[in-house]
Amino acid sequence: MVRKAQGSPAKALTAPAGHGMFEGVRAVFVEGGILGKRIEIWKKRLIGLGGQVLDPGKRIPREATHILAADAERLIKQYGREQVEESPLFLVSFGWLEESLAQGKLLPPNAYRVFSSSRSGSAGRSPARSRSASPDTAQSRGGNLLESPTASAQPPAPKTPATSAQKRLREAHERAEDLAAEVREDNEQSGAVALVGAEDEGGESSERREGEGGQGFGLQGDWRPGGGDKQLEKWGEVRNDVTKEKEAMGIRPLGSTAEAIGREVMRIEPPRGNATEQPTHSGGGSDEDHEILLRAAKRARIEGADSGKPQGGLERALVEVNEEGFLDLRENQTPAGMANPELNRGLLKVLGELKDIYRDAFGDDRRSFSYYKAISVVENLSFKVTSAEQLKGLPSIGRSLLDVVRDILGTGTTPRLLALKNDPMVRALFEFGSVWGIGPVTARKLYDMGYRKLEELEKEPSLTQAQRTGVKFFYDIQQRIPRHEAAEMEALVQRVATELCPGIEVLCGGSYRRGKATCGDMDMVLTHPDGHSHKGLLPKLVARLKEIDFVTEDLLVGPSHSADDSDHGVDTYFGLCKYPGRELRHRIDFKVYPRDQHAFGLLAWTGNDVLNRRLRLIASAQQLHLNDHGMYPAIYREGDSVHNVSRGSESVPCYTERDIFRTLRVKYLEPKERNL
């Protein structure tokens, strides 16, 4: 006679947490095959949504409803084949819990079984990784998702046995997944990535400590394994495993070596479901960025490749799919409704002043960026903020920033800002640091030399001509440019450029392209569809614009890289211009890109900074380095810095901005939707 599988009552590790989609679920977690820290996170999520976690013990707890394990082998190792075969419970993979959390609803367990026991009504064993089964198919089979596990279950549809190559490929992907989690854990323990919950004064709960760049993507490691050569060797082994197993299955790499290496291992898993059902993180802050990284790095997908399509002479080998299942960066946006920044003008003004002071007076880009992200959230609100509690739980709004908001709503300002503005040194440093070409370090040197007023700096011999120009026209440059004037100046540049180079494309990026009513400067991004006519154009264009008295002063004149194909072949010019008929100066920048880099440059110079940072983060999680020139396979070297594989590394081919979003499996955002 077969012995009963159930044992004595097991002690629940945590008491039920009230109503939620896992109410009635009493789960046992069989550890192994998945990083322990990830399992602990899943336990907390299950408890937070009404479930219970039971002590696994040596015998299957009789009050359990679900046993979760990575695969059947680990399940049998924990309880023995006899108990497992006789168990009437749902014996499911961790994928069942993970997908249920992702979709915000309890999914039928049948599609995720790791072992079908005789008492559960299904003969034979299911594949260890049952997540490949469609949840939709599973939904059609199931009745009540919380039905008693002892009830007769509809047997799952027969599955085609996996080939040995498929199994090896799956194992290679699993190694990639485990390595990604291992790297995250190593980083947290070594301090390369700050732990969640460390409040900084800027108001965000920071998971990362990273240098802040200016406009564009920059070369920064948002997610930086610190294992040096040994870590690099591990990543190389994983990539080779995946590539070899795909070749064994006859799966063609995605278009280019760069794309094959960069996209085979990691895939984005988008957030889905009702966000309000998820447990909130105390302190708010930049948790949404951390969650994006976790979703991005957590698992790989087994998929084939579509054929490349030639377009404009550029061979593109991109996966042609719709955007269903792609990451939506708008998910964490503020409540629905038309955004109206004017409703919170006073609040935004004070936050903006704090942002600028920390950036220009102290050079504290990290703290300044915290305020920048909070400003973006408030700008997208459709209601007037009357209480700090209305912002609680919103992205980038942490406890410290909530205190600042309370002060502003109560008094119209905050003691922190008053103290900074009333400090003579801070006032001088802020003003000096706001000048084009003068950073916080130079500002401090000028202050130490005895300078206290901006007007005095024009005579300082150590300043460059560009810095003196910045001082002279400082107050002009601070004036915002009305949208209709920016449009007219964009048209003027397009007209003159076309006269010099027919077919040239000119777009004004920045806040103008994002649909703002005013902009601080103009970022002109140029290219030519034929891929070569842009070469040598910029010096001629600037000279012609000076002749018609549009461009007036130089700030930075870069060498003609397009002529000798140096520095990616991108030409740069920064200067001042004036609206026809007026003497008021405005900042204007020109960037001329080769056609195959244009999409990356346009995306970077359109912004905003929050979007650029998130896209870099997502690319990094897929072992790609994204900047304004391209998207390259990334490796990790000593000093935990991210570098390109080589100077001549091949970029993932992207002809349009939409291609970049698609490659990263992120839903495309129109320019006006990028004010994140």
CATH of the domain at 404: 1.10.150.110
Q: State mean pLDDT over 463-490.
A: 94
Percent of the chain with pLDDT over 70: 61
Q: Which residue has the tokens 């006519």?
A: 533
Let me know if residue 25 belongs to a domain: yes
8 Å CB contact between 534 and 525: no
CATH of the domain at 120: 3.40.50.10190
What is the DSSP track for 178-212?
HHHHHHHHHHHHHTSSPPTTEE-TTS-EES-----
Residue 443 sits in the same domain as residue 423: yes
The pLDDT tens digits for 209-245 are: 333 333 344 323 332 333 334 444 444 444 454 444 4
pLDDT computed for residue 649 by the predictor: 66
Residue 435 sits in the same domain as residue 348: yes
Bridge partners of 198, per DSSP, are 206
Residue 283 φ/ψ, nearest 5 degrees: 95, -15
Bridge partners of 93, per DSSP, are 69
Q: For the ranges 199-208, 431-440, 470-479, 482-491, which has the lowest average pLDDT? A: 199-208
Rg (CA), the chain: 28
What is the DSSP track for 447-468?
HHTT--SGGGGGG-TTS-HHHH
Q: Which residue has the tokens 């698992």?
A: 299
8 Å CB contact between 261 and 239: yes
The whole-angstrom separation of Cα 98 and Cα 130 is 12
Q: How big is the CA angle at 416 (ends 410 and 419), to the nearest 5 degrees?
A: 115
pLDDT computed for residue 122 by the predictor: 38
Q: For the ranges 158-167, 563-572, 637-646, which has the lowest average pLDDT? A: 158-167
Let me know if residue 186 belongs to a domain: no
Strands 522-527, 505-508: pairing is antiparallel
The pLDDT tens digits for 402-430 are: 999 999 999 888 888 888 888 888 888 88
Q: State mean pLDDT over 374-383.
A: 84
- Looking at 106, 141, 176, the residue that finishes a domain is 141
pLDDT at 340 over 60: yes
DSSP state of 569: G
Q: Among candidates 638, 567, 588, 361, which has minimal Cα distance to 473?
A: 588
| Helix axis angle, 36-48 to 94-103, nearest 10° | 50
Residue 354 sits in the same domain as residue 454: yes
Contact residues for 79 (Cβ-Cβ < 8 A; gap 6+): 5, 58, 59, 60, 87
The range of the structural domain enclosing residue 132 comes to: 12-141
Q: Among candidates 222, 211, 268, which has minimal Cα distance to 626?
A: 222
Strand, helix or coil for residue 6 = strand
Q: For the ranges 115-119, 376-380, 598-602, which has the lowest average pLDDT? A: 115-119
8 Å CB contact between 533 and 573: no
- Tokens for 560, please give them: 């003609």
The whole-angstrom separation of Cα 445 and Cα 423 is 17
Q: State mean pLDDT over 1-14.
A: 45
Let me know if residue 578 belongs to a domain: yes
Residue 493 sits in the same domain as residue 374: no
Strand, helix or coil for residue 158 = coil
The whole-angstrom separation of Cα 284 and Cα 287 is 6
**Cα 535 → chain centroid:** 34
Residue 399 sits in the same domain as residue 488: no
Position 511 confidence tier, pLDDT thresholds 50, 70, 90: very high
Which helix (H) or strand (E) covers residue 600, if one does? helix 595-606
**HEC string for 360-401:** HCCCCHHHHHHHHHHHHHHHCCCCCCCCHHHHCCCCCCCHHH
| Helix axis angle, 365-379 to 609-621, nearest 10° | 110
Let me know if residue 385 belongs to a domain: yes
Domain tally for the chain? 3
Let me know if residue 367 belongs to a domain: yes
Residue 345 sits in the same domain as residue 473: yes
The whole-angstrom separation of Cα 552 and Cα 559 is 19
What is the DSSP track for 476-508?
HHTSPEEHHHHHHHHHHHHHHHHHHSTT-EEEE
pLDDT at 539 over 90: yes
Q: Among candidates 244, 670, 314, 267, which has minimal Cα distance to 527?
A: 314
8 Å CB contact between 121 and 110: no
Strands 481-482, 518-519: pairing is antiparallel
- Looking at 141, 160, 179, the residue that finishes a domain is 141
**One-letter identity of residue 55:** D
Let me know if residue 54 belongs to a domain: yes
Residue 492 sits in the same domain as residue 578: yes
The pLDDT tens digits for 138-183 are: 333 333 333 333 333 344 444 444 444 445 545 544 554 554 454 4
DSSP state of 308: P
What is the number of other CB atoms lying within 10 angstroms of the CB of residue 175?
17
Mean pLDDT score across all residues of the chain: 70
Handedness of CA 514, 357, 341, 323 (dihedral sign): positive
Let me know if residue 631 belongs to a domain: no
8 Å CB contact between 64 and 28: yes
pLDDT computed for residue 565 by the predictor: 61
Bridge partners of 577, per DSSP, are 551, 586
Residue 490 sits in the same domain as residue 444: no
Q: State mean pLDDT over 325-353.
A: 72
Strand, helix or coil for residue 624 = strand
**Cα 96 → chain centroid:** 25
Residue 96 sits in the same domain as residue 41: yes
Torsion angle defined by CA atoms of residues 528, 530, 536 and 539, in that order, rounded to the nearest 10 degrees: -20
Residue 491 sits in the same domain as residue 363: no
Residue 383 sits in the same domain as residue 466: yes
Bridge partners of 494, per DSSP, are none
- Looking at 107, 141, 175, the residue that finishes a domain is 141
The whole-angstrom separation of Cα 261 and Cα 622 is 9
CATH of the domain at 485: 3.30.460.10
8 Å CB contact between 273 and 383: no
Residue 277 φ/ψ, nearest 5 degrees: -85, -10
The whole-angstrom separation of Cα 475 and Cα 271 is 45
pLDDT at 277 over 90: no
pLDDT: which is higher, 473 or 459: 473
Q: Among candidates 463, 474, 458, which has minimal Cα distance to 586?
A: 474
Strand, helix or coil for residue 29 = strand
Q: For the whole model, what pTM was predicted?
A: 0.48
8 Å CB contact between 433 and 351: no
pLDDT: which is higher, 147 or 672: 672
Residue 541 sits in the same domain as residue 509: yes
Let me know if residue 489 belongs to a domain: yes
